[in-house]
Structure 1
Amino acid sequence: MAKTADIQFDQFLAEATITTHDRSDSTLGRDCFYGLYTSWCWLKQSVPLPENIFWAALKAKGIHPVGNGLAMTGPAAADYILASYPDLA
């Protein structure tokens, strides 16, 4: 299971995030990051792993919830934004 989760998180990071080289608060925060992950899972038709497992896996990859230098991109980003702000649709 752990190996499958690692592959899933690697794929999520590759498809739904970009590096901004900006470690400020303008990058993905905790709630937004997990929300992006759940949107990505929904688009992939897979069940998101619990938040504690998500953060443990990202911590093992050296990614922290604050000041991570990552921003959202791709279809999961669009889905997350539209789900978060339905008046935009």
Structure 2
Amino acid sequence: MAQTHFDQFLQEATYRDHEPGNNLGRDSLYGLYTSWCCVSGKEPQAEHVFWAAMRQRHSAGEFLHLKKCPAAADYILASYPALV
């Protein structure tokens, strides 16, 4: 299976863990994805397309966590403008 930009997003901006602490919720994960698209120069897909792709790639019992990366910084600053 060829790597899609969804696979690239997961590899560059997230890591998987079986521990639930500080995992990304739905809104945060999609927000991180849109920030990653902006930073990477990719066109973000519609939310329903994103979630269909995540269902194919995400195993039950695994939690996604935020990696330290440019997309994470962009997402945090966009989510909390008072930090700027």
- Asked whether the two chains share a fold, i.e. TM above 0.5, the reply is yes
CA RMSD of aligned residues (A): 1.9
Match of 1:15 among 12, 17, 37: 12
Pick one of 33, 44, 47 that aligns with 1:48.
44
After superposition, residues 1-89 of structure 1 pair within 5 angstroms as 7-22=4-19, 24=20, 26-63=22-59, 68-73=62-67, 74-89=69-84
Extract unaligned runs of 5+ from structure 1: none
Encode CA deviations 1:42-71: one digit per residue, 9 max, x unaligned. Answer: 00112100000000011011357xx74111
* Alignment CA distance shift 1:48-1:63 (3 Å): farther
Normalised to the residue count of structure 2, the TM-score between the two structures is 0.85
Query: Partners of 1:86 and 1:32 in 2: how far apart?
Result: 15
Structure 1's consecutive aligned runs of 4 or more residues displaced over 3 angstroms after TM superposition are none
TM-score (norm 1): 0.81
Structure 2 gaps, min length 5? none
Q: Provide the aligned length of Structure 1 versus Structure 2.
A: 82
Identity %: 51
What amino acid is aligned across from residue 65 of structure 2 in structure 1? A
Alpha carbons 2:17, 2:62 under 8 Å: kept: no
Letter in structure 2 aligned against 1:33: L
d(CA) in 2 for partners of 1:48, 1:62? 19
